[in-house]
């Protein structure tokens, strides 16, 4: 299993450009998440999905859109990139919670985005 | 390259010593906590977790302690090795139905050989 993969690994955008980040998982997980990581701030949740065809807003959703057309893929879109969106983006996936086992999220390697 | 910035609190220990990394969580209603390790240029990796009905849990070379009274978590690493050098994050769940995690800002552990 490849686990969680992300493409691209690195991208430079100009302000106002658009792009889509792709996340794929081969573990048949129901839940998928997009986070951004900024210096000194840990990871913050942008959007998440609890199953194919569903999406929901996280802590910092403004300026981003997502889609979950297939269970294994979760796309993050930036319609009009801004310098404030310069960050490292991480995708994660997890099983549905089954007590008493604890849930874990499996993370991808990250996408580094620079918006000029 | 580095995944996190330069202003994280840093813990520097000698190889072979024990390390203790602390975390204060924000929500007294949180019922599940996880410690992650993040090496440079990689995504976070699960280390150990603990539920709010426990105050201690042990893994291989790692122990997590939970003090709900003061909303404090700690991660203890025994016999720290150079491969333990990384940034360590604690995370808490605010809403178990949503399964989303809230992360702390992280602590950088540097192991001196």
Q: How many other CB atoms sit within 10 Å of the CB of residue A16? A: 10
Average pLDDT over residues B32-61: 91
Report whether B79 contacts B111 (CB < 8 A): no
Q: Distances in Å between the alpha carbon of B39 and those of A62, A115, B46, B54, B87?
A: 28, 24, 12, 28, 6
Average pLDDT over residues B35-59: 91
Asked if A48 and B100 come within 8 Å (Cβ–Cβ), the reply is yes
What pLDDT was estimated at residue A21? 98
Q: Which residues of chain B make contact with A102, given a CB cutoff of 8 A?
A: 32, 34, 49-51
DSSP secondary structure code for residue B97 in this structure: T
Out of B8, B49, B91, the one facing A40 most closely (by C-beta) is: B8
Report whether B97 contacts A103 (CB < 8 A): no
| A16-72 pLDDT, tens digit each | 999 999 999 999 998 899 999 997 678 899 999 989 999 999 989 999 999 999 999
Instruction: Using the Cα atoms of residue A19, residue A25, residue A26 and residue A29 in order, give the sign of their dihedral.
Output: negative
Task: Check pLDDT > 70 for residue B92.
Answer: yes
Query: Among candidates A106, A109, A63, which has minimal Cα distance to A83?
Result: A63
Q: What percent of chain B has pLDDT over 90?
A: 58
Q: Distances in Å between the alpha carbon of B75 and those of A107, B35, B45, B54, B69?
A: 20, 8, 14, 14, 17
Q: Which residues of chain B make contact with A31, given a CB cutoff of 8 A?
A: 99
In sequence order, which residues have a C-beta less than 8 Å from that of residue A47 and are 6 or more positions away? A33, A34, A55, A56, A57, A58, A61, A64, A65, A66, A76
Average pLDDT over residues A96-106: 55
Confidence band, pLDDT 50/70/90 cuts, at residue A111: very high
Interface residue of B53, B101, B102, B104 to substitute, partner A, most A CBs within 10 Å: B101
Asked if A102 and B98 come within 8 Å (Cβ–Cβ), the reply is no
Task: Check pLDDT > 70 for residue B6.
Answer: no
Q: Does A86 touch chain B (CB under 8 A)?
A: no
The rounded mean pLDDT for chain A is: 90
Out of A45, A88, A106, the one facing B3 most closely (by C-beta) is: A88
Q: Does A60 touch chain B (CB under 8 A)?
A: no
Query: Among candidates A73, A85, A90, which has minimal Cα distance to A113?
Result: A85
Asked if A104 and B46 come within 8 Å (Cβ–Cβ), the reply is yes
The strand pair at A106-107 and A87-94 is best described as antiparallel
Greater confidence (A110 vs B105) lies with A110
Task: Check pLDDT > 60 for residue A97.
Answer: no
């Amino acid at each position: 299993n490849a686990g969680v993969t992300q493409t691209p690994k690195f991208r430079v955008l100009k302000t106002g450009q658009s792009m889509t980040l792709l996340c794929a998982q081969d573990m048949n997980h129901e839940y998928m998440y997009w986070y951004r990581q900024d210096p000194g701030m840990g990871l913050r949740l942008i959007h998440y999905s609890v199953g194919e065809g569903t999406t929901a807003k996280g802590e910092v959703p403004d300026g981003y859109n997502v889609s979950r057309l297939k269970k294994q893929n979760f796309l993050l879109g930036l319609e009009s990139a801004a310098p404030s969106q310069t960050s490292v983006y991480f995708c994660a996936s997890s099983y549905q919670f089954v007590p008493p086992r604890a849930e874990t999220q499996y993370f991808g390697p990250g996408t580094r985005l620079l918006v000029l | 390259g580095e995944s996190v910035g330069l202003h994280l609190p840093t813990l520097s220990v000698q190889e072979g010593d024990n390390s203790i990394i602390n975390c204060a969580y924000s929500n007294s209603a949180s019922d599940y906590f996880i410690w992650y390790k993040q090496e440079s240029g990689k995504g976070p990796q699960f280390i150990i977790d603990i539920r709010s009905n426990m105050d201690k849990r042990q893994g291989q070379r790692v122990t997590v302690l939970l003090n709900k009274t003061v909303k404090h978590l700690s991660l203890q690493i025994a016999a720290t090795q150079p491969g333990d050098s990384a940034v360590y994050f604690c995370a808490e769940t605010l809403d178990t139905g949503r399964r989303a995690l809230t992360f702390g800002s992280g602590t950088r552990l540097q192991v001196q050989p």
